[in-house]
A and B are shown apart, each in its own frame.
Chain A
Amino acid sequence: MYEVIAFYVFAALTIGMFSIVVMSKNALYAMSALAGGMIFISGFFFILDADFLGVVQITVYSGAIMALYAFGMMFFDTTRDVSEKMRSKKIAYTLSIASAVLLVVIFCAPFFSQKIEALYPVIENVGNVQMIGLVLFTKYLVPFELAAIMLLVAMIAGIVLASKKMDGEWEAIEDLEDAKEGR
């Protein structure tokens, strides 16, 4: 019973928050609503007995990614309203058709895949975090290491890209010359 109430409350809150993200003209409102929506999504993870992912969702999404956005937005002019106009109705039609097809596919997917079996079944009497660790560090060890390298590359790329000169006269040619000189 509590599960049902929690599901509908979180569903309404998440859909509302994400609608604000999509519809709002103010970038700051959109970012705050996105942070709220992320936290409500972690609620779903806790309902679904995925404790580890719920915590990761709060720390990584609401903590790291939204903080990154907040710092990034200091570079942009966020007080001005975002000006957007729909160019043609064709976009809207494409959009609605795509969404409808998507929803139908999602509705039908469980009925076509009744025969799927658990590859890594849930173990009894073992906590969620321990279970994730068991599978992650045996079957998914290589993807895990690759993800670590990918995060390292992304971190270096972010530092290099964001630490360019601030005078606005950045040129690709200058950068090439720098590269030739080995700087």
Chain B
Amino acid sequence: MITLTHYLVLAGLLFAIGLVGVMKRTNLLMLFFSTEILLNAVNIGFVAVSKYYGDLSGQLFAFFIIAVAASEVAVGLGLLILWYKRNGTVDLNSLQIMKG
């Protein structure tokens, strides 16, 4: 029988994978992919809690997280395209322009 703990462990594993991506990647586009993984991992946790406690709030929060993710991608990709036009690269290190 699959319990809530199974789903929470899975969500934790996926979150850890996303965290590895966030720390490992220096390409900004790949960094965006990793943040999507983080959001999806949290969504699984929310929906699992919603199911096992018989509460709808979890599903609604997951719904709002999806809305936030959609707008984040729209704005983020716009900024990324603008940065690529100016500098010809989407590398994270190209953002370090303030040399101390």
Point out residues on A near B: beta carbons under 8 Å: 3-4, 7, 11, 14-15, 18-19, 21-22, 27, 30-31, 34, 37-38, 41, 44-45, 48-50, 52-53, 56-57, 60-61, 64-65, 68-69, 72-73, 75-76, 82, 84, 86, 91, 94-95, 98-99, 102-103, 106-107, 109-110, 116, 118-122, 131-132, 135-136, 140, 143, 147, 150-151, 153-155, 157-162, 164, 166, 168, 170
Partner of A151, one of B26, B40, B50, B67: B67
**What is the CA–CA distance of A60 and B36 in the complex, to the nearest angstrom?**
12
Interface range on chain B (Cβ under 8 Å from partner): 35 or more
**Chain B neighbourhood of A116, CB < 8 A:** 53
Chain B 75-100, CB within 8 Å of chain A: the 1/0 string? 10111111011101010000000000
Q: Which residues of A contact B10 (CB under 8 A)?
A: 11, 14-15
User: A4-B2, A53-B63, A132-B59 are known contacts. Are A75 and B81 too (CB-CB below 8 A)?
Assistant: yes
**B77 A150 Cβ-Cβ under 8 A:** no
Given A30-B33, A99-B19; A38-B63 close (CB under 8 Å): no
Q: Do most interface residues of chain A lie in helix, strand or loop, or is the interface mixed?
A: helix
Q: How far is the CB of B9 from chain A (nearest CB, A)?
A: 7
Given contacts A18-B37, A158-B78, contact A27 B29 (CB under 8 A): yes
A68 to B69, CA, bound (A): 12
Closest 3 CB pairs of A and B: A161-B78, A154-B71, A158-B74
In the complex the two chains form, is B27's CB within 8 Å of A82's CB?
Answer: yes
Q: Which of A61, A102, A150, A160 contacts B78 (CB 8 A)?
A: A160
- Chain B residues with CB below 8 A from A155, complex form: 71, 74
**Does A44 contact B44, Cβ atoms closer than 8 Å?**
yes
Report if A153-B4 is in contact (Cβ < 8 Å); known contacts: A27-B27, A73-B29, A168-B85: no
Contacting pair A122 B55 (CB below 8 A)? yes
Q: Quick check: B75 and A154 within 8 Å, CB to CB?
A: yes
User: Are A84 and B57 in touch, CB under 8 angstroms?
Assistant: no
Contact: B66 with A57, CB < 8 Å?
Answer: yes
Residue of chain A at shortest CB distance from B51: A48
User: Which residues does chain A contribute within 8 Å of B15, judged by CB atoms?
Assistant: 99, 102, 106
